[in-house]
Amino acid sequence: MQRQDFTTGSAIVIHSSLKAFSILLAPLRDLAVLRQFHTYLNAEERRLLLRAVTVGAATWCLGYGLTTLAPFVFHQTLNWLASSPKLWGQPVLVFVPLLLGALGVATLASVRASTVRYRDQAGRIRQIIDVEGDGLEQAMALFYTAEPGLEQALLGRQGVEARWQLPTFTMAMRKILAVTLTLGTGGSGGMAAGLTLIGENMAAALFKPRRPIPESATDWRARLRRWWRSTDPDDLQTVQLCGVAAGISTLLGAPLAAAFFATEVMYRRRPIIEKLVYALIASLTAYFLTILVAHDRTRIFHLDIFHVPSFTPAYYISVIVMAIGVASVARYFGQLREHAEQAFRYYTPNLWQRHLLGAAITGSIALITAAFTGYGLELVLGPGDSVINAALNDALPVQIALAALIAKLLATTSTIGSGGSAGLLVPAIFFGMTVAIAVAWLFGFTAATLVVPSITASLVAVVNVPLAATLLTVELFGSLYLLPSLLALVVSLLLSHDNTIYRTQREVDESREIMPGYSVRRIAVPDFWIGRTISQLNVRVRYDVNIIGLAKSTNYGSHIVPSTPVNHPLRQGDILIVMGADEKIEALRTRIQEEQIKEEL
């Protein structure tokens, strides 16, 4: 009996010892898994992972420099104005830095400037100078340069070569200087959009091959360059997305929201999950680098005292009212910006005069607002993040907020409409903040409890990035604000789902220019053409346009017939695909409308 007990006890001891030993060996097994981690990724995934980290770090270097330099110059400008002689005072001297900044940006725009093409709301191709405007417009256009297009094919540009024929690193440096000149001297706007263009340029610069690699070269540098390079446009777009995400993360300190922002703004309602992962890696790289260098400035917005929302019916009603107000302001701002830009270019076609006029208008608005409110010039000039932080901490009265809304709308429109280099992300949040303060005062709530969800409403209504807007609010202020932010998101999205400040986001397929002045259009076959053939219509001779295809109507839907027989009789529901000069196609459409009116009479 004693021997059996001894045997059982020994077995228990041995089992316990083996279990303890296995626990001690667990870290070694984990290390073995880590050593084999590279086998879980294929060669392309490993290459993209390294690119994401590299692009994130490189973009952070330039982005951190911009987010440090521009505010420093702006504060120095304010300090100089505050210490100016009382004899002259700020009313005169405030124009000095603004006009100097405008002259600097105009100089950049006129010396060795490159132009980026985009499509306007009517589908026509337009051009914008690299350093002018908010920068996100150019970044979007550059993002799609590597995709197949008829114009690239006609010019002999294939895939990634189309992007590499445009500047990369030099455009980024020019944009840094332009944003610093605009915002540092008092221009009204933000830095986010400039950082997106800087990130895209850095990604393209790192991706761009510097010189051909001889096939006979076998040293480690040649092997590394062969491994790094790629001619796949999809790879280029992945690293471009990484650069945009890293730039936004450097500014906002919200890496998840930054990754979603980059994906949403480039693909709009078509987020690509695979690319989102690499954008998040680049975004996290930039975020952790900021923590290492300056942990006290990782976030652009902050609460000194956390305010818990009341979660009452009255509070949710106030969120709905706030979101409606923000959507209305966003729609008005979009129209105001469009008209202001057209007016600046129509009435002041001279580049130098346009920039100086915009700076003078911005300075005048700032002076009038400062005299009316008694607040500092930073209420209108500069990015406006300090004013937003004041509102988050209940230090901005409702009267000043309403005055700031009107003044900031006009000043930002003037700065960017005239060609100043500034962004719209932070100003969009600024507009929503002022509306939130007014609604909070009306309903009797603490301002911060509505300012936080107004950030989501603003980014949805103005920039059209719903997922990034929600994630930004949660990352910066916690999950307690998730429900009111979602409510603000739904309301603002319903009211402004078709509104966007970025023209390259607009998808118009009824008329597309293939190059300046030439388009491909779809023209429905009118009743008086039914039964006639293309040969009988003689469209090419009569109207100087070419029929390049036919969308043929069948019982199973429509399908494209690219090589339409000239003797094929047209049927009801068919759509002709024509190509030619814009004015020729318009003449054809006008003629068809006139013939239809005659037929009806």
pLDDT per residue over 494-531, tens digit each? 887 655 655 544 444 445 555 666 777 778 888 888 88
pLDDT at 272: 62
Rounded Cα–Cα distance for residues 578 and 453 (Å): 48
- Where does the pLDDT of residue 33 fall: very low under 50, low under 70, confident under 90, or very high at 90 and above? very low
> CA Rg, the chain, in Å?
29
| Cα angle 187, 189, 192; round to 5 | 135
pLDDT per residue over 112-157, tens digit each? 888 777 665 555 666 778 888 878 888 888 887 776 655 555 455 5
Report the CATH number of the 314-348+360-505 domain. 1.10.3080.10
Class of domain 517-600: alpha beta
Low-confidence winner among 267-271, 467-471, 482-486 (lowest mean pLDDT): 267-271
pLDDT per residue over 36-82, tens digit each? 555 556 677 778 888 889 899 999 999 999 999 999 999 999 888 88
Residues in the chain: 601
- Where does the pLDDT of residue 236 fall: very low under 50, low under 70, confident under 90, or very high at 90 and above? confident
**Top-confidence residue, 302 or 274:** 302
Q: What mean pLDDT is predicted for residues 272-300?
A: 80
**Top-confidence residue, 224 or 93:** 93
Rounded Cα–Cα distance for residues 112 and 274 (Å): 37
pLDDT per residue over 394-434, tens digit each? 889 999 999 999 999 999 999 998 988 888 888 889 999 99
pLDDT at 34: 46
Bridge-based pairing of strands 575-581 and 557-561 is unpaired
pLDDT at 2: 45
Domain borders along the chain are 314-348+360-505, 517-600
Q: What mean pLDDT is predicted for residues 365-381?
A: 90
pLDDT per residue over 201-222, tens digit each? 998 888 877 666 555 556 666 6
pLDDT at 81: 85
Bridge-based pairing of strands 511-515 and 125-129 is unpaired
Beta strands in 227-330 (DSSP E): none
Share of the chain above pLDDT 70, in %: 77
Rounded Cα–Cα distance for residues 128 and 389 (Å): 33
pLDDT per residue over 325-358, tens digit each? 999 998 888 888 888 888 998 888 898 999 999 9
